[in-house]
Every structure is written in C-alpha cells, then in structure tokens.
Amino acid sequence: MQWPYLAYLAASDLRLVIYFLLGGLITAFTVYLAGQGRGTAAAFITTLPLQTAFTFLLIYAEGGSRTVEEYAWSLLLFTPPWLVYVLVVLFGVSRLGIGRSIALGVICFVLLSAAMQKMAIK
C-alpha cells in the first residue's frame, strides 16, 4: 500500500522541521504526564510503538522498504543494550544521582552496542 502523503512529505523542504515537531510533541507529552505523577502512562507513551511507527513511515518515505528493514533489524540489535541502560538508571538514580546514573547507563549502552555490532558483523 502506497501512502501519497509520505511521498509529498519526503519531497517537502520542511520535512526535517516536521519530523522534529512530531518527535518533540511525543517527548513533551511524555514529560507532561510524568510531571503530573503519571509515570506509568508516560512510560507507556514512550514505549508505545507510535514513535517507532512514525519513524518507520518517515524512513520509508525517505528511502523505501530496504531502509525500513535495516532500521528494524538495528532496533532489535540495540534492544539488549537499551535494556541494560534503563536498568543502570533504575538502580543507579538513588545511589549515584540522575546525572551519573544516566552517564553510566549511556556508557554501558555504547560499549554493549559496539560489542553487539561486532558480533552481528561476524
């Protein structure tokens, strides 16, 4: 099924602005929910495939099905390191503080991602 709006969007000079606004709206809504004490709802919105669905559609508009397939495989590749990142922040925030726990989580994510990529290439 072809989506004519995707071709129009991919050809638009404002497409990067539109992509930025879509991502920003989802992020702003997530932060708003969390700020209202609705952390579970915020986490649901963050993990809801809505952001990924938009990304799949926009990548398809930019590069077609092959680029979507490569992106999807890469998402699967980086899921285990992402889970480690979340766990480091979860267990580190009360012990290390938010900044240090995020920094340590990102370091773990990058190192594990590099290792996963090397294993996937071989």
What's the pLDDT tens digit per position in 25-80?
888 999 999 999 999 999 888 887 877 888 898 888 888 899 999 999 999 999 99
**Comparing C-alpha atoms, which of 43, 28, 29, 55 is closest to residue 86?**
43
Mean pLDDT of 89-114: 96
Better-predicted residue by pLDDT, 52 or 91: 91
Is pLDDT at 1 greater than 80 in this prediction?
no
**What residues contact 47, with CB distance under 8 A and at least 6 apart?**
none
Phi, psi of 36 (to 5 degrees): -90, 10
- Give the CA-trace dihedral at 88, 89, 90, 96, to 10 degrees: 100
Average model confidence (pLDDT) for the chain? 87
Asked if 93 and 101 touch (Cβ cutoff 8 Å), the reply is yes
**Overall pTM > 0.75:** no
